[in-house]
Structures are given as structure tokens and as C-alpha cells.
A and B are shown apart, each in its own frame.
Chain A
Amino acid sequence: MAAQANALSIEELKEKGKVLRRLIIRMTTEAGSGHPSSSLSAVEVVNALWFGGFMKYDPQNPTWDARDRFILSKGHAVPVLYAAMAEAGYFSTDDVMTLRKLGSPFEGHPNMKRLPGIEASTGSLGQGLSLGIGQALGARLNKNGSNVFVVIGDGEMGEGQVWEALAAAEKYKLGNLTAIIDQNTYQQTGATKDVLDLGSFEEKIAAFGWHTQTIDGNCQKSVVEALEVASKVTDRPKAIISKTKKGFGILPVLEETGDLNYHGKPLSPELAEKALAFIA
């Protein structure tokens, strides 16, 4: 037997989002390293998937055959996934405070061998969508109704493999595959439009034959509505271009640092206190 996640209301999801954000900040500050801002941009998407009724999973039986699969292709944002899984009941919120410490299964990037419930080991960008295709094809062969959700970073779209995957997913009409591009507009060294401007993701992905939507990915209601639309499309793969802000939820606090990108570094304990207070 397996649990279908209870769908929270938009208001309840917003509260849950605050919980996830607090956890992300606390665990990365405790670790002294990590990617809090890359995690924060994806909170509304991850939140809706895990707690909005869009994924079926069972924390008591993480290998349940018919579970839906969540792949975090932008593996450096794993704190958002650990936070969601802790809230879902896979482990305790205390456990995730061991993030990045020697011996902890909460590694700096997702490692499926060490943590049941992680569906893909990622951290080399560009591979998540292809893994999702494999899982979607596998689910089709298994006839178990399993769906696959892949969250990809906008900088990550520079990887050629993503475009190979976009073509292959359309070939196999994978209606059980949903890709969400977390377009937070920044990557390691600066603005994505300056590093490698790929233009309109929606136009390009639609040209591959996918069902596409572009939304405000930090608006919880928009995310839920987009996932509802996508869930009704079953004859082809689906993409949601989720326009977000890196560090969303604590932007005024990060702006004080003068760094709008704030990539790959934790908040100092002092800044974290400010951020936690801001969220509250």
C-alpha cells in the first residue's frame, strides 16, 4: 500500500514554503557551504510537487514500484529536496542538519545510493532529463502509471545533452514526463543571459513538440495551476518554464550583501538570523 500525498491548499502551501526556506537556510549555514540561493528559487515548484497532490509517494516504502519520481537535475540545489523530504517524513528535520558532514547521507549533491527516496544521483549538469526519459520509458514498460518530474536549472540548459533529451522525449511521446526549468536567471559566474543566452525556452522547447507553459515560478498559485494543466496532458512530454528569482523569499536580506547572484555560498550565521526573521 502506498500513500497519495495529501494536497495542501495554496495558503497551506505558502506556510509550508516558509518551513522549507527556513530549513534550507539553517542546514546550509550549519554546513558552512552549499547553494541556498539556488535552492530558494525552486521552493514553490518543489513544494507544489511534494505537497500539492501532484506526486504519489510513500516515505515508509520509498522503493514502492508505482511511486512517482522526482529528479533534481540541478543537483547543487539539493537542500530544497532534503527539506521537502524531511517535511514529507522520509527522515527528521534534525537529520538534515548533518548536511555535507563526513558520514552523513545528506551529501552536497544527491546520492541515491546513500539516501533512499533520492531517485537520481546528480551533480554533473545536463543528465537529469535523460535519466527521466529512462524512468518514464521504464514506467511505461512496467504499466504502473508512474510519472516523472525533472527540475532543471536555466544555466544547465547550456548542456547539449538536455537538447538531445528534449528530442528523444518527444519521439517517445512521454506523456508521463514533466520538466520544470527553474529559470532563476543566474548561474555560477553571472547572469545567464550574459553567459550563454538561449533566448526563449518556451519557443525552443515547444519547437521540439513539447507541451509548454511559462509561469511565475515563485507564485505558489501559478505553479499549482500549471501543474494541474500539465497533469491533464498525457500524449506528449510537458515543460513548465518557471521564471523565478535566485534567493527568492529572502531577497531584501541578500540585497544587503550587494550580491544579487549569491551563488554557492551559505549565509553567515548573522545573515541567516536576519533571513529567518524576515521569513517569519
Chain B
Amino acid sequence: MYLGEISGLKVGQATRDAFGDALKDLGDKHPEIVTVDGDVGNSTRTEVFAKAFPERGFNVGIAESNMVSVAGGLASTGHIPVVASFAAFLLCNAYDQIRMSIAFPGMNVKMVGTHAGISIGEDGPSQMGIEDVSLACSLPGVVVMVTADAVSTKAATAAMVEHDGPVYLRLGRPNVAEIYSEGDTFEIGKANTIREGDDVTIIANGLMVAGAVDAATKLAEEGISARVIDMHTVKPIDVDAIQKAARETGAIVVAEEHLAHGGLGSAVSMVVSQSTPVPMAYVNVGDCFAESGDPQGLLDKYGLTAEAIVEAVKKVK
């Protein structure tokens, strides 16, 4: 069983693989793109770009602080650095460097955190970026994106390069279900409605979008019509889509592969509570560091499932 299977979604590329391919494809059109790695380019897939453009790929070794500030310096000479590492090491290890070398001066750096969430699996909690969205959102002026599948990740990669300013893009390790088709629209800050529905809205991002689609499928069998929104941009968040969902469906469930605090749930609830208060429920990792295990087993154990979303819906409807 994988997220999306209940709805018949096919498994596609991992988002990190889609990112690597997309970045390489953008290399010719954007000669200002450079990559800065902390020796995990073969995991983050920036290696795909660096092999195609060797003079534009820098591996500074296992030194995330230096890596991030080097990216800031490159940006100040007109380049578009893409600095990538595991989400845990990028955001947590080098947070001050991100703050001072990138966010504060508004450097045009694209930060990509891969292997986010508990679905990294067996390597265990030290490797799981589950607080990265919270940390990234706390930085003034930084766009924060969490993509659900390969097609939207390719679009997000192009969009972040076109965007003028710092961006954090969160990606995962495993192959994930295909939500989008080639040609679907993708715009930073504009949520995509994956399924229409009137009774409740499930707002999700990352691999939990597939879980939300599964939940909607199960709910439909019980006569509950659930809207599914892919909130791929956590900051700036799509206020209109949230308010519309609250008004039209009267209840919201937020599902994400992140800690309870400071992620998508926090961002959505801030909008809802200020303008369109409706009952809300949350599906997330909670307030813990998880453990080692197989990815699907972890998702099941920590409640990141279609069933958990269905239960959450029943709390608010």
C-alpha cells in the first residue's frame, strides 16, 4: 500500500529526481545557475546538473555553514546559486548562515532540502527534516514550497529560478504518486485544487496530497464530498483559496509530513482564525522525533495515512 494507491494513482519519480532533471534542463537557458553542494549531490541530485555543467557545480565538502554562505556570496555577483542538502542539515545545521548570508540581505539563492520528512525511512530521525518548513517560514522574505510529485516539482524548480529572491524548496526521498499531468498550471503562491468538493476541504502538501486524494475517495464512498487542495506554497500562502474553502465547505483538515508546529497547519490556521473561522483538524508527525524503519511502516505508525485523514474529517464534520 502506498499513498495514492486507493485512488489508483500511479507511482512516479521521486521529487528529488524530478528536481535534478529539471535543474539540468534549465542550465542552458539560465547560464547564471550554479550549484553549491555539501557532498551529497548524488543524493540531492544536483550532481545531475554539476555533471552537465562542471564549471558551475561547486562541492565545498561536508561543511554546510560554509556552503550556505558561499551561495550567498555567489548570488551577490549575479549568479543564481542552488544550494542543496538533506533538509535536516540545510535548515538545522546552517540556519544562522541562511538567516545572515541569504535571507537578511535578500540574496537570490534557491535552497533545496531533500530527504525531508519521516519517509526517508531506515536512516532514522537524525536524518529526517521534520521541522524544516517551520524554520524556513520563520525567515522574512523567503518563499517556502513543498511539492507533491514529479511534474509539480519540475514546474516548481523552473518557477523558483524565475522568482527573484530567496526560496526554500522541500523535497522527499521516495518515489511518490503522480498527482499532476504535464501541462498543468503551477504558480508560486497559488494553490491547486486537485479535487472539487462541498462538505470539507483537505489541504495538504508533499506526499500527503496523495493521502488526501485517497481520503477523498474513501469519504466519497460514505457520501462525504471532500475538496482536496495542494498547498504547495506554504509562504506566501494562498489566502483566497483557504478563505474560499472555509466559506464553501465549512471545515478544514490540514495534512503534512511535518511537525505539528510551524508548518502548513499553522499557516492555514492563521488565515482561518483571522477571517473565516471554521472547525479544523490536523494530520502531521506531532511533536516527536520519530524513529528508524521502513518508510511506509513509519507513515502508518505516525498516522500519516488516508485513514487518519478520514478520521480527522469526521472530527470536524
Contacts and interface: CB of A to CB of B under 8 A. Distances in A.
Interface of A: 65, 111-113, 119-124, 126-127, 130-139, 141-142, 146, 160-161, 164-165, 167-168, 171-172
Interface stretch (B3-11, B98-106, B236-244, B304-312): B98-106
Interface string B262-286: 0000000000000000000000000
B297 interface: no
20 contacts: A112-B76, A113-B104, A113-B105, A113-B106, A121-B104, A124-B99, A126-B65, A131-B69, A131-B70, A134-B70, A134-B72, A134-B73, A134-B76, A135-B73, A136-B73, A138-B79, A141-B77, A161-B65, A164-B60, A171-B60
A160 B94 CA distance: 12
Interface string B62-96: 01011011111111111101000000000000001
A119 B66 contact: no
Interface of B: 34, 36, 55-56, 58, 60-61, 63, 65-66, 68-79, 81, 96-97, 99-101, 104-106
Given A122-B100, A134-B71, A165 B79 contact: no
B97 A141 contact: no
Nearest to B34: A141
Q: Which of A121, A122, A171 has the most CB of B within 10 A?
A: A121
A161 B34 CA distance: 21
Given A134-B76, A139-B77, A127 B97 contact: yes
A167 B101 CA distance: 19
B11 to A, nearest CB: 39
Contacts of B99: 124
A166 B287 CA distance: 39
A167 B61 contact: yes
B65 A112 contact: no
Contact of B69 (A139, A161, A167, A172): A161
B58 A137 contact: yes
B290 to A, nearest CB: 28
Q: Which of B34, B66, B79, B106 has the most CB of A within 10 A?
A: B66
A135 B77 contact: yes
A93 B72 CA distance: 30
Contacts of B76: 112, 119-120, 131, 134-135, 138
Contacts of A172: 58
Contacts of B60: 133, 164, 168, 171
A164 B73 contact: no
